[in-house]
A and B are shown apart, each in its own frame.
Chain A
Amino acid sequence: MNDVVNSSAGHPGTVNAAGVSIKDLRKSYGTNEVLKGISLDVKPGEVVCLIGPSGSGKSTLLRCVNLLEQPNKGAIHVGGFEATDADVDIDKMRRKVGMVFQQFNLFPHLDAKRNCSIAQVKVLKRSQAEADKVSMHNLERVGLGHLADRFPDQLSGGQQQRVAIARALSMDPELMLFDEPTSALDPETVGDVLSVMRNLAKEGMTMLVVTHEMGFAREVADRVVFMDGGVVVEEGVAEQVISAPTQARTKEFLRRVLDPTHIEIEE
């Protein structure tokens, strides 16, 4: 399994990418089991989209990877770390793992540049000047260099989400987790965020993306994983899973997502 995790990046690029290996992951809230034995490998530099109906466990799975949720059973390897080891240095591991949230979660009391630099200074112990340089580089990378002095409440949703991506990138992560990054956005700003993510994929970043954007998944993802009821129902090459699914549940889900106006309401 460590071959998968540590083998060198498949894509050429500037990114030092890590892989993820998930084995038989189980997670319950009380008696409600939301992950019922998930196994999933993401190779370094690979982009994997998690799709599925709400409540299928895909966000929980993503949050288990950087331990925002504590799994009950199973093993997760991220880069050189075993996340499920009780002795793992969580903070050290999380520096390698960028997280982008549905609600952005920018720090409202800091401007865009300080949002990007604060953890560099406090966690990576970079000087403020060096951190500012890295922050500016990443803000320019997401097309927002000119808005570095703005506070989050002065930015649109799409701009905030791009700052959030720049903030994660400023820690030089080897893996990026995206938890429905465009679900809270106005439709006209979705495209900017997706194009930033597309560029990131091209640079060879390992990406695990929970999304409802089927067009993005089809175009950018190397693989698509369809989850329902806490299990992986179907996975494979993006084009094949989305255009020619083999499982009935996948077909039903895609029919609802891709053509929502032609759904007949069932009793």
Chain B
Amino acid sequence: MAMTARQRARVSLYVQAGIFIVAVAALILATDWKTIGNSVFNFGKIGPMFPGIFTTGLVNTLIYTVLGFIVGLSGGLLLALMKLSSFPLYRWIATGYIEFFRGVPALLVFIAFGYGVPLAFGVQWNVTIIVMVSLGIVASAYIAETLRAGLQAVPKGQLEAARSLGMPQWRAMVTIVIPQAFKIVLPPLTNEVILLTKDSSLIYVLGLTASQYELTKFGRDGISSLGAGLTPLLVAGAFYLIITIPLSLLARKFESRSARTKR
């Protein structure tokens, strides 16, 4: 009953496929389809979510993400340059900031900004600004690391060539190094936008008013008001995919483009 290596490999594949099919079948049999149908796939009752989830939820999610990304990108660039600085104090500040905000949950940062800042400084920011700043603060910590890697991936000779032509350090960075670094980090940066889109779901903790609802808050609201169980969340999830899947494809396109040519 000796089998060749190729036969053994084929049998092994059949066994794996068999286990998978049995597992799926068991899952289907164990599921209470009647309940699921009422509380997850109950699309008959979600009419009132439209067009609000589109005109308010999706739009606000996009606005919050873009604003957060603008703050995150500017802050991230500043932090990346600080981290590469020859001045130790800048490096320490940047390292401390990055490690702290990458280490604590984004939710805690949002709570701290939503409730802590007004208490601490006696100022009342409007929600858009709190969202922009808190998303941006978290995003800048991640983006800083991405940009630092990109800046370091630009060969040292580029800076030397620019400086040899009489460009001051800042000019050489702005004109020669940073544009090249951005091309290198375009794929990972697109992934940061995807993460940011999803992180924007956490700002429901700030207590939004109806016109400020983003997708997740819209879905949670639907759960309590529509009597369709968790179905509204399923709809909200689908809307996130409408944003994130194209971004994901874009990142892959950037990746294959930069693999083809260094330019």
Contact = CB atoms under 8 A, between A and B. Distances in A.
A71 B261 CA distance: 38
A108 B164 contact: no
A111 to B, nearest CB: 10
A107 B164 contact: no
B263 A94 contact: no
A231 interface: no
Contact of B160 (A101, A119, A123, A167): A101
A244 B120 CA distance: 82
A152 B262 CA distance: 10
A91 interface: yes
Contacts of A105: 155, 157-158, 160-161
A153 B165 CA distance: 21
Interface in B133-182: 155, 157-158, 160-168, 171, 175-176, 179-180
Nearest to B166: A95
A122 B164 contact: no
A108 B166 contact: no
Given A101-B157, A109-B263, A94 B163 contact: yes
A107 B263 CA distance: 9
B183 interface: yes
A167 B165 contact: yes
B157 A122 contact: no
Given A91-B166, A123-B167, A118 B175 contact: yes
Interface in B206-263: 261-263
**Range for the number of chain B residues in contact with chain A:** 20 to 34
B161 A101 contact: yes
Contacts of B165: 94-95, 118-119, 123, 167-168, 171
Contact of B167 (A91, A152, A164, A167): A91
Contacts of B183: 109
A97 interface: yes
A91 B168 CA distance: 6
B10 to A, nearest CB: 45
B164 A66 contact: yes
A95 B183 CA distance: 28
A216 interface: no
Contacts of A92: 166
Instruction: Kindly name the residue among A94, A99, A107, A153 whose own CB sees the greatest number of chain B CB atoms within 10 A.
Output: A107
Interface string A128-165: 00000000000000000000000111000000000010
Interface in B179-203: 179-180, 183
A122 B167 contact: yes
Given A105-B155, A153-B262, A94 B175 contact: no
B171 A68 contact: no
A118 B164 CA distance: 13
Interface in A149-190: 151-153, 164, 167-168, 171
A5 to B, nearest CB: 20
Given A109-B183, A118-B175, A122-B175, A68 B163 contact: yes
A39 interface: no
B164 A97 contact: yes
A108 B263 contact: yes
A91 B167 CA distance: 6
Contacts of B166: 91-92, 94-95, 119, 123-124, 171
A153 B263 contact: yes
B263 to A, nearest CB: 5
Contacts of A106: 161
Given A91-B166, A94-B166, A95-B166, A108 B262 contact: yes
27 contacts: A91-B163, A91-B167, A92-B166, A94-B166, A95-B166, A99-B160, A101-B160, A103-B157, A105-B155, A105-B158, A105-B161, A107-B158, A107-B161, A107-B162, A108-B262, A109-B263, A119-B162, A119-B166, A122-B167, A122-B175, A123-B165, A123-B166, A123-B167, A153-B261, A153-B263, A164-B161, A168-B165
9 smallest A-B Cβ distances: which pairs?
A119-B165, A105-B161, A95-B166, A99-B164, A105-B157, A94-B166, A123-B166, A91-B166, A91-B168
Given A68-B163, A119-B167, A153-B263, 5 more contacts: A91-B167, A101-B161, A107-B158, A107-B161, A122-B175
